[in-house]
Amino acid sequence: MMTPNQIPHPNPASEARIRVRGLTKVFGEHPERGLALLAQGKGRAEVLKDTGCVVGLQDVSFDVAPGEILVVMGLSGSGKSTCLRCINRLVTPSAGEVVVDGTDVTRLSEHELLAFRRKHFGMVFQQFALFPHRTILRNVEYGLEIQGVAPTERTERAMTAIEQVGLKGWDQHLPSQLSGGMQQRAGLARALALDPDVLLMDEAFSALDPLIRRDMQQELVALQKRVKKTIVFVSHDLDEAIALGGRIVLMKDGRVVQQGSAADFLGNPADDYVRRFVEHIDVLGVVTAGDAMRAPALVARWDMPAAEALSRLDAAGEPVATVICEEGRFQGTVDATSLRGAGGTVLKLLAADRHAFVAERAPLNTAVVALAGGRGEIAVVGDDGHLRGIITNADLVAALARRHRATPPAGASPAHPVQ
């Protein structure tokens, strides 16, 4: 089981754009007294009682990889917004470090920090914070104007950002003439116009109506794929975190409770708090085919003669072989019935179920539809079409069972890519 502050393998520090280590924030007149008590093992309530100081963050650590969407979430008072503001030092940490592209932000002077923010960070808040008397174009230009960018260049960059967020044609309108969702797009465009390496988004869609909110979540995911920004997104909503599709850092009382994918939270919750947090989530919409797949029992190349494939099936005691081409891409399946009497005919001519596959990153509800129309087994393929594994009806049942267990079912096969 992952310990609360363990850094997941996909984001080792050497690959991180943002590295947060031991981040602690104590609010109050004498924060050093609070820090001393924390070092002695005292808890948040004891620090408040003994010193009057409030522990906003305690020993928070995580990494954010380049181009990743990381969602920092938790209930009100969990410390998620404080954590976000410590990353660009709108809130100065009491202890710990925040390293962005090799620079420890906590050690910068005020002058260095201002320059670093301008180059590296874009911020999008829950409130749109648009100037009501400025057009959308002039609102989006504002940060560039403050930086002293020449008028022609800043207009060009602002118009590019406006188009990126889908507001082309609205640049001369005032904020009051736009819907809430469109105003939030304008706020996002203002951040993008600065071309930051990192976008920090604090409850950015919380003020929007549910349907508009879902649209903005989808737009952000699509935008991130195009512009490949590194995004740290604060939210209190697990459904939103799942929709954004990135890793999740779940906080409670200023500490990290668990971090990982939504599937990690479902299949291996760190404690009862996490278990309660995810209990309403539909596993079929969260767990991916890649999470549930396993290695095929028998893989055969499409240039193999039918007689040889039948011999291998019989020896293995398996009913079906998965067929791949020379490059490892899925080509279908063959069973014993189709192979008998086929002699030297190659599998390329005998393979069936050529379309019985799902993408590795597809949710399991996609696999359910595919399984319902076939023989009870489908292939899982990567973006390149290469075979990664298979899913059977039994694997689907096992994935559903893990929804209610802290550990995988006994005898469940781990998912391995095909070699």
What domains are defined for the chain?
Answer: 66-131+197-281 (3.40.50.300), 290-402 (3.10.580.10)
User: Quick one: pLDDT at residue 404?
Assistant: 53
Please compute the mean of the pLDDT values over residues 337-350 and round it to a whole number.
Answer: 91
pTM score: 0.73
155 and 141 in contact (C-beta within 8 Å)?
yes
Q: Which one is predicted more confidently, 4 or 282? A: 282
User: Quick one: pLDDT at residue 402?
Assistant: 61
Q: Which one is predicted more confidently, 53 or 369? A: 53
Closest CA to 187 of 117, 229, 116, 126: 126
224 and 165 in contact (C-beta within 8 Å)?
no
Q: Answer whether residue 12 shows pLDDT above 90.
A: no
> Any residues with CB less than 8 A from the CB of 155 and at least 6 apart, and which?
137, 141
Q: In the structure, what pLDDT confidence band is assigned to residue 11 with cuts at 50, 70 and 90?
A: very low
Question: 278-308 pLDDT, tens per residue?
Answer: 887 777 777 788 888 889 888 999 999 999 9
Would you give the distance in Å from CA 49 to the centre of its chain? Answer: 38
Q: In the structure, what pLDDT confidence band is assigned to residue 209 with cuts at 50, 70 and 90?
A: confident
Most confident of the following: 241-245, 271-275, 282-286, 402-406? 271-275
Question: 55-108 pLDDT, tens per residue?
Answer: 999 999 999 999 999 999 998 899 999 999 999 999 999 999 999 999 999 999
Q: Is 173 exposed, middle or buried (0-12, 13-18, 19+ CB in 10 A)?
A: middle
Q: In the structure, what pLDDT confidence band is assigned to residue 375 with cuts at 50, 70 and 90?
A: low
Question: 247-262 pLDDT, tens per residue?
Answer: 999 999 999 999 998 8
Closest CA to 228 of 263, 273, 192: 192
> Any residues with CB less than 8 A from the CB of 274 and at least 6 apart, and which?
250, 257, 258, 265
214 and 51 in contact (C-beta within 8 Å)?
no
Please compute the mean of the pLDDT values over residues 129-139 and round it to a whole number.
Answer: 92
Give the torsion sign (CA, 307, 311, 314, 316): negative
Please compute the mean of the pLDDT values over residues 349-365 and round it to a whole number.
Answer: 88
Structure-token pair, residue 105: 């932000």
242 and 283 in contact (C-beta within 8 Å)?
no
Average pLDDT, the chain: 86
Closest CA to 389 of 303, 292, 314: 292
User: Quick one: pLDDT at residue 245?
Assistant: 77
Q: In the structure, what pLDDT confidence band is assigned to residue 136 with cuts at 50, 70 and 90?
A: very high
Give the SS3 label for residue 88.
Answer: coil
Q: In the structure, what pLDDT confidence band is assigned to residue 3 with cuts at 50, 70 and 90?
A: very low
Q: In the structure, what pLDDT confidence band is assigned to residue 373 with cuts at 50, 70 and 90?
A: low
Q: Answer whether residue 324 shows pLDDT above 60.
A: yes
| Strand-pair partners of 378 | 391
Give the SS3 label for residue 179.
Answer: coil
Q: In the structure, what pLDDT confidence band is assigned to residue 417 with cuts at 50, 70 and 90?
A: very low
